[in-house]
Amino acid sequence: MSKRILKINQLLKEKLGEIIRKELSLKPSVLVTIIKVDTSKDLRYAKALLSVYPETEDDYVLKTLYKESKKIHKVLHQELFMKPLPKIKFLINDNQKKLSEMEEIFDKIHQEK
């Protein structure tokens, strides 16, 4: 991956985090963290990997982000002078859920012994 793409990924990660924190009206008890941004080589698309706490609010956060995607893109366009500005796709990081499930399984196995 080129240095340019890495810098763009980091910049998008920071700006998206700011926008989600300042511009969107999520429930006060919901915490959203941008874990990683992957931008395509042609800069037309980007995937933003999110972590949501509590995990039960994953669907709510995704629906809100997609509903507000035009607003997010508009604010990004105002703050970043990029052409083209990548179209952002939001994804939930399910690694934490998988880890929790694995811990539960290991706990059950340990208790059975």
The 10s digit of each residue's pLDDT in 27-47 is 889 999 999 999 999 999 999
Q: What is the pLDDT of residues 8-21, one digit of tens each?
A: 999 999 999 999 99
Cα–Cα dist 45/64, whole Å: 20
Cα–Cα dist 88/97, whole Å: 23
Tokens of 84: 């083209």
Flag whether the pTM goes above 0.85. Answer: no
Q: Please enumerate in sequence order all residues whose Cβ is within 8 A of that of 89, keeping only pairs 6 or more positions apart, or say none.
A: 45, 46, 47, 48
Structural domain that includes position 44: 3-112
Q: Which residue has better confidence, 112 or 74? A: 74
Rg (CA), the chain: 17
How many structural domains is the chain composed of?
1
pLDDT at 62 over 80: yes
CATH number reported for the structural domain that contains residue 55 in this entry: 3.30.300.20
